[in-house]
Structure 1
Amino acid sequence: MPTVHVLSYFTTEEESLHLAVSVDGRTFHAVDDGGEILRGAIGSESIRDPFIAVGPDGRFHLLGTNGWESDAIVHTASDDLLTWDEQTLLPVMGAVAGTLNCWAPEFFVEPDSGRARIIWSSVVDPHPVDGPQTDRDWNRRHQVIWSCLTTDFTELSRAEVYFDPGFSVIDASVLVQDNEVLMAYKDEQGDPVVGGAHNRIHVRRTTPSSSEELGAVTPSPTEGPTLYRHDDEIVMLFDHYLEGRYGAVSSVDGHTWTPAAVQVPSGVRHAAVMTIPSEHPAVAALLARTMIGGR
C-alpha cells in the first residue's frame, strides 16, 4: 500500500507544531511554507518535541513537551492534522513526588493489547538542590524513560519506569514491527562535545522473549531520534542540535546502519515522522499546502 510520511517539528523561533510531508521517504516538503500549524494554548503555552501518531480510536493524537519543568505533557487530537481539538495537559507524573520534568513524549500502540503506551523522560529528585530549577545542570541529573498506558488519552495508568540502563537517557523513540519493538534513545551522560563518546543515539530491540542492545549508531552530539519504515528500509532522523543541522541513517535489519541522504525544512528541531496510507483523507489537504501540491 502506498504511504506518505508526515514530519512534525518545532523551531527555535516558534515552539509550536509545524508539519512537512514526504512521498519518497527522503525529501520532506514544508506545509504552509514552514508556517505554524498549531500554537500552544495551555500550560507553558509552547509545544516542544511535537509527536503525532494514530491512537487506538483511529484519530491523530499529538503529544508535546510542556516547557522545561512540568509533571504533565501537552495533548490534543485531530482528524485531518490541520484542525485540532482543545488542548489539555496529561498529568503523567502528577503522582510521582519530586518530578522535575517530562520531556519528549511519544506513544505507540501495543500490538497485543491495543492500548497506547506513552513514553517520556523524567528526572525524579525528592530532595533537589537549592535554587531555581533553571540553574540546575540537567546533564548531571539521572533521566530515565517512564511510561503509562491509556486507551483514550484521558484515563492514564500510574507512571512506571520503562527503561533505565543505569545511565541517564532521554528522547526514546519506538518503531513497532510485528512482535518486536525497536527503540532509539539518547545517551545523556556528560557534557555534549562534537566527536565525544556520549550524547549519541543508541538502538535497542525487544521481543516478547528477549532484549538486545544494538549499540550507538550516530555521531556525538545528536538527539531527538525518530524511526520510520520506507520500503525495505528503516530510516532514523536525528538532530545535530549544536551544529544546527539534521542527519539520517538507514538500515535493513536494525543492526547495521549507514548514512542516508534526507532533506528536511530549514530550522527543524526534534522532529518525529508518522507514516500513513496515501489515500487517507488528510493527505490530499496536506499535499495541497506544500510545494508538491502547488505551494
Structure 2
Amino acid sequence: MLIVLAGFLSSCSKDIYMFTSFHEPADEGLRLLYSDDAYHWNDLKQVFLKPTVGTEKVMRDPSIVRGPDGLFHLVWTCSWKGDKGFGYAESKDLINWSEQRFIPVMEHEPTAVNVWAPELFYDDETKQYVIIWATTIPYRFEKGEEEEKNNHRIYYTTTTDFKSFSKAQLFLDPGFSVIDAVIVKREPKDYVLVLKDNTRPNRNLKVAFAEQAIGPYHDVSESFSGMKTEGPTVVKAATDYLIYFDSYGDKKYKAIATKDFKEFKAIDEKVSIPEGHKHGTIFKASRDVLKGLKDLVNHD
C-alpha cells in the first residue's frame, strides 16, 4: 500500500511538458499546449499574454525557460521589420505576468533590419541565460541567392537577471543565411544547435555541434528535413530527442526523432498537435501550474 501510494504521489508531482504557441496573424498573444508524454499535445485554448511592445505589437516565436529562480522567462518576436530588439516578460505561474519590456539588443547596429525568433537557453555551466536570434545586416556577409535584407546570421546576448545584458555578438555564421536556431545540451561540453538554412531553394533544417553553449559551432550537417521547414524545438523523451517543426510548405506541424542527431526518423504518426499551432518552444512546468491554467480557462 505504501509503495503504491508513493508511486501515485511521485506521478502526481512529476512535471508536465508545456509548448508555447501563437496563432496567425500573431496579434492575439501567447497560447500554451500541454502534454504528459511530449508526443500528444492539448491546447488550453486561451491567450495568456497579449503583446504590448514593439512597432507592430505582435507575439511571434514565443520562447519560455523556467529558471533556477523558479520564474518563467519569456521572449518573443515583436515585429517583422523595423525593431532592433525583442519582447520580454516573466511570471511565476504563467498567468500573472510582469510588465512587458522591449530589449533593444541590436540598437548599436544602425542598419539592422530585424530581430527574429529570440530563443532562451539557461546555461547551467556558466549560470547565465543565453538568448540567440536572427538578424539581417545588409552587406555584412557573403550571400548566395538571398536578397541583402534576407541574409541572416545568428547573434546572442547573455544575462543573469534580465536587467543587464551583454553587448550582442555574432553567434553563428555558417556561410549561409540562417534563422530559427535552438540550443540543446546533451552532456557537459556536448551541445547541439538545430537551425534553419534559410537560403533558396533550401529552407530546411540542419544541426551543428559545440563544446560550449555559446559555441563555436562546427560540422554543420546536411539537411534532415524537407524543403520549407522552420521553427524547430527539441525535447528529450526517454532515450529519444524529438524535434518538432513547422512544415509550412505543406501546412503541417511535424516531428522527427533522433538519438544522436546523426540519424533521423519521421514520427508524424506518433504525435498529435492541435490545429493552428505555430512556432514555439517546449519547457517543463509543475502540475500545480497546469492546474492553475486550467482553473483560469474553466472559470472564464
Distance 1:181 1:287 in 2: 35
Task: State how 1:74-153 maps to structure 2 within 5 Å.
Answer: 74-125=87-138, 141-153=150-162
Q: CA deviation at 1:270?
A: 0.9
Distance 1:100 1:22 in 2: 37
Distance 2:217 2:31 in 1: 37
Q: Which has the higher helix share?
A: 2
Alpha-carbon distance change, 22 to 138 in structure 1, aligned in 2, over 3 angstroms: farther
SS in 1 for 2:192: strand
Alpha-carbon distance change, 138 to 49 in structure 1, aligned in 2, over 3 angstroms: farther
CA deviation profile, 1:240-281 (whole Å, cap 9, x unmatched): 1232210000111221110112211110111211134x45x3
SS in 2 for 1:105: strand
Residue aligning to 2:253: 246
Distance 2:151 2:26 in 1: 29
Distance 2:33 2:80 in 1: 25
CA deviation profile, 1:95-129 (whole Å, cap 9, x unmatched): 122111000001111232111011000001379xx
Alpha-carbon distance change, 210 to 84 in structure 1, aligned in 2, over 3 angstroms: closer
Residue aligning to 1:37: 48
Residue aligning to 2:5: none
Alpha-carbon distance change, 139 to 38 in structure 1, aligned in 2, over 3 angstroms: farther
TM-score (norm 2): 0.84
Distance 2:17 2:185 in 1: 16
Task: State how 1:220-231 maps to structure 2 within 5 Å.
Answer: 220-231=227-238
Alpha-carbon distance change, 252 to 41 in structure 1, aligned in 2, over 3 angstroms: same
SS in 1 for 2:130: strand
**Alignment check: 8 A CA contact 1:201 1:223 kept:** yes
Letter in 2 for 1:38: L
TM-score (norm 1): 0.85
Structure 1 runs not aligned, ≥5 long: 128-136, 192-197
Structure 2 runs not aligned, ≥5 long: 1-9, 141-145
Q: CA deviation at 1:140?
A: 6.3
CA deviation profile, 1:153-183 (whole Å, cap 9, x unmatched): 1211110000010100000011122222211
SS in 2 for 1:226: strand
Distance 2:180 2:20 in 1: 15
Q: CA deviation at 1:239?
A: 0.3
SS in 1 for 2:163: coil
Residue aligning to 2:178: 169
Distance 1:4 1:139 in 2: 42
SS in 2 for 1:212: coil
Distance 1:241 1:48 in 2: 15
- Number of matched pairs: 274
CA deviation profile, 1:133-161 (whole Å, cap 9, x unmatched): xxxx8686320000011111121111000
CA deviation profile, 1:192-225 (whole Å, cap 9, x unmatched): xxxxxx1111011212598433431111110000
Task: State how 1:206-245 maps to structure 2 within 5 Å.
Answer: 206-208=210-212, 211-245=218-252
Distance 1:40 1:226 in 2: 22
Q: Percent identity between the aligned chains?
A: 27
Letter in 1 for 2:207: V
Calculate the aligned-residue CA RMSD, in Å.
Answer: 2.4
Letter in 1 for 2:222: G
Structure possessing the higher radius of gyration over alpha carbons: 2
CA deviation profile, 1:216-239 (whole Å, cap 9, x unmatched): 111111000001111111000000
